[in-house]
Amino acid sequence: MTPVEQSNKTARKRLGAALAAACVVAAIATGTSPALGQQPAAATAAQREAKAMDALAAMGKYLRSLKAFAVRADTVTDEVLTNGQKLQFAGTVDYLVQAPNGLRADVRSDRRQRVFIYDGKSVTLYAPRMQYYGTVPAPATIAEALQVAEQKYDLAVPLSDLFLWGTDKGGLEDIREAAFIGPAKIAGKACDHYAFRQDDVDWQLWIQQGRQPLPCKIVITTTAEPSQPQYAAVLTWNLAPKIDKTSFTFAPPKGAGRINIAPAVAAGKN
């Protein structure tokens, strides 16, 4: 190899390295920053299909027109262990609702049973197998009570969206992408399948076709978690439930004991 050839080779090497570095810089400049800056505005208009957003709004409006209803949710929940292994648990939730201030949710899974009762003044959480109950004061409507329970006490009622859609807490503005997927049969009923994306969750919703646009099924994928665990619920509706004076009052059974509900700050620290 002549000195000139040697020199050329070194120069090519240097050029190559410089080009590679330039590519990285260019990728960072064009690929990342501008795209991040532009994405929200572009995505919102183009990717929220009107048909899907309208269907969601119509369902919310219909839900809020119901004065009373009962709904059974057959649920499947993924739980992720600290070693990354994903387990699946089946369960049910039975809701009994009287607008605007009566809610009862019986939550059952293989691992846990809870009764959540709201009577317009307070929220009680009861663990029937351990016979523990805790009560905290709550505001005057279901939507507000759910918000206080979650904010102040980290008490989340599964599928609380059922009580928020159609209100100003429905969260439609948080949706980044919305799409109509197609018709589907859920438990024998004709429904339409929609898909939505927003921060931390991708979710799918099946809405009953016809004059009663009720949710047939919901699947929530927690995208904030690396293993993307899912919660799925198939819903069975009863629009003429039996409700009496005791439906939303909690009377501690014999032997049941009161316990505290720790404020959410403490929950975060644990």
Partner 1 sequence: MKNPLHPLAAIAAAAFLVSLAALPGDAHAGRQVQNNTRTSVNKNVNVNKNVNRNTNVNVRRDIDIDVDVDRDHHHPVATAAAVVTTAIVVGSVVNTLPPACTQVLVGNVVYQQCGGYWYQPQYVGSSVTYVVVNPPR
Q: Which residues bind partner 1 (CB under 8 A)?
A: 75, 77-83, 87, 111-112, 114, 125, 127, 129-132, 134, 146-147, 149-151, 153-161, 164, 169-171, 174, 196, 198, 200-201, 203, 218, 220, 222, 225, 227, 229-231, 252, 255-262, 264, 266-268, 270
Distance CA(39)–CA(21), nearest Å, equals 26
C-alpha distances (whole Å) from 16 to each of 3, 5, 23 are 20, 16, 10
Angle at 68 between CA 173 and CA 231, to 5 degrees: 50
Between β-strands 86-98 and 215-222, what pairing exists: parallel, antiparallel or unpaired? unpaired
DSSP H/E element including 36? helix 33-47
Residue 97 C-beta: closest distance to partner 1, Å? 15
Q: Which CB sits closer to partner 1, 155 or 186?
A: 155
Q: Are 105 and 116 contacting, i.e. CB atoms less than 8 angstroms apart?
A: yes
Q: Which CB sits closer to partner 1, 99 or 219?
A: 219
Q: Which CB sits closer to partner 1, 113 or 243?
A: 113
Kindly give, in sequence order, each residue whose CB lies less than 8 Å from that of residue 59, ignoring residues fewer than 6 positions away.
Answer: 165, 166, 205, 207, 213, 214, 215
Distance CA(154)–CA(177), nearest Å, equals 28
48: DSSP letter:
B
Residue 227 C-beta: closest distance to partner 1, Å? 8
Residue 36 C-beta: closest distance to partner 1, Å? 18
Residue 182 C-beta: closest distance to partner 1, Å? 21
135: DSSP letter:
E
Q: Which CB sits closer to partner 1, 100 or 229?
A: 229
Q: Which CB sits closer to partner 1, 243 or 256?
A: 256
Q: Which CB sits closer to partner 1, 86 or 185?
A: 86
Residue 15 C-beta: closest distance to partner 1, Å? 46
Q: Which CB sits closer to partner 1, 188 or 268?
A: 268
Residue 161 C-beta: closest distance to partner 1, Å? 5
172: DSSP letter:
G
Residue 203 C-beta: closest distance to partner 1, Å? 5
Among candidate residues 168, 192, 174, 208, the one with its CA nearest the CA of residue 71? 208
Residue 157 C-beta: closest distance to partner 1, Å? 8
Angle at 187 between CA 185 and CA 189, to 5 degrees: 50
Q: Which CB sits closer to partner 1, 66 or 172?
A: 172
C-alpha distances (whole Å) from 206 to each of 154, 167, 244, 268 are 28, 20, 31, 34
